[in-house]
Amino acid sequence: MSKTIEELKTEADTLGIKYVKNIGAEKLAQKIEDYFESQAADDLAVVKEEDPIVDELTGPKKGVDKMPINETPEQAFKRKSKERQKKRLTNTRVVTLSSNDKRENHVTSTAYLSCGTLSRIVPLDIPVELEEALIIIAETTPITLHVAEVIDGKRTGNSVPKSIKKYNVSYEDMKL
């Protein structure tokens, strides 16, 4: 199935491939194919350096998953990028969470954080080691508080909703 030049340009833009405006469809398709081949070669080189995956006679080494035999370079690239993202989000850092919710500060001592299959009950105001994905969730969780409306420096007696972050996140370690 051949793609149109517009589809190829869109794909090249999303991959970050540089090309001239008046490039032909064949040349652009070749650039995209070369890009995936180079990414797959880089990924395979990294895998070969890290683990000897398959011995010709005995098969895969103990504790190492088999790589798909008929995997295209594009599929290998997607699989590797998912693995990198998962590894990045499961890296841990030491942080301290504190609650901004004044309504329940006196009774709340833990926070429940969840991201997909990863979830934790985290104590507040104590340094803990958390995964990056849960830290992102804690930093972005909003709550709505009702604050007094002030016009011209005088309170009107009305309340207006205001959205704030539910948790303050203090980093105990320095990110390198």
pLDDT digits (tens, 9 = 90+) for 34-90: 887 777 665 555 444 444 444 444 444 544 455 566 778 888 888 888 887 777 777
Domain that includes residue 147, residue range? 91-171
Longest dimension (CA), the chain: 83
Among the ranges 15-24, 39-48, 135-144, 167-176, which has the highest mean pLDDT value?
135-144
CA distances to 5, 105, 166 from 125, rounded to whole Å, are 56, 11, 14
Residue 108, classified by CB atoms within 10 Å of its CB into exposed (0-12), middle (13-18) or buried (19+), is exposed
Answer whether residue 176 is part of any domain.
Answer: no
Rounded alpha-carbon distances, angstroms, from residue 37 to 93, 128, 174: 35, 42, 37
Same domain? 19 vs 80: yes
Q: Indicate whether 146 and 160 sit together in one domain.
A: yes
- Dihedral sign of CA atoms 23, 24, 27, 31 in order: positive
106 with 128, same domain: the answer is yes
20 pLDDT above the threshold of 80: yes
Q: Which of 44, 72, 88 lies at the terminal end of a domain, its last residue?
A: 88
82 and 9 assigned to the same domain = yes
Per-residue confidence band for 32, with pLDDT thresholds at 50, 70 and 90? confident
When divided into structural domains, the chain yields a total of 2
Predicted pLDDT at 53: 46
Q: In the prediction, which pLDDT does 171 show? A: 86
The reply to whether 46 and 101 lie within a common domain is: no
Last residue of a domain, one of 51, 72, 88: 88
Both 16 and 84 in a single domain? yes
CA geometry: angle 35, 91, 120, nearest 5 deg: 130
pLDDT bracket for residue 154 (50, 70, 90) = very high
Domain end residue (candidates: 88, 118, 134): 88
pLDDT tens figures, 98-144 = 998 888 878 889 999 988 888 889 999 999 998 888 898 999 999 99
